[in-house]
Amino acid sequence: MILQTKNWYVLYTKPRWEKKVAKQLENKRIEHYCPLNRVVRQWSDRKKIVLEPLFSSYVFIRIDDKDMAIARQLDGVMNYVYWLKKPAVVREEEIRIIQRFLNDYQEVQVERTSVNVNDVIRITEGPFMEKQGNVVEIRKNTVKVSLPNLGYTIVAEVKKSNIEIIPIYSADQIPA
């Protein structure tokens, strides 16, 4: 007997098709999650709370590998989101974190960033120019960087435009 395990994947949808794709998945009885954010919208005569997709063009599905083609063929689905040339698998814990976060907070904003916490960076402008450090926290336009090579751990807030990520190579990837 072969045990099939279901994984969470991310479907990439046409713009503004997230709820329609979720409805089709529901009709096909495919487990899915389309995180909806409660947002207050102002019209000329009133305010109203509306539910908008938290991630534009993304719907999460939990499905067996053998059934992945079914979801891919639905109207409005462009493809799966890929990571390292395979459909990206999302951990169950990450789905639960998103669910809890949306239950606790309204008007959540998602920011795409190319800098991650713990990245090693070099500061390219400003008083700490050419210093290396580790990203401690990411904000809208700045990052907090720990600069341990000064002899102390100093945390400086630096504009994102003034840093560059230092790639970390394994021994067999070191460029010539």
- Identify the helix (H) or strand (E) that includes residue 45: none
Banded model confidence at residue 3, pLDDT cuts 50, 70, 90: low
Domains of the chain, CATH where assigned: 7-104 (3.30.70.940), 120-168 (2.30.30.30)
Phi, psi for residue 131 in degrees, rounded to 5: -85, 145
Q: How do residues 41-88 score in pLDDT, each as one tens digit?
A: 888 899 988 889 988 899 999 999 888 999 999 999 999 998 888 999
Q: Record the pTM.
A: 0.64
d(CA 124, CA 1): 58
> How far lies 90's CA from each of 16, 26, 80, 133, 153, in Å?
22, 20, 12, 30, 35
Q: How do residues 29-51 score in pLDDT, each as one tens digit?
A: 999 999 998 888 888 899 988 88
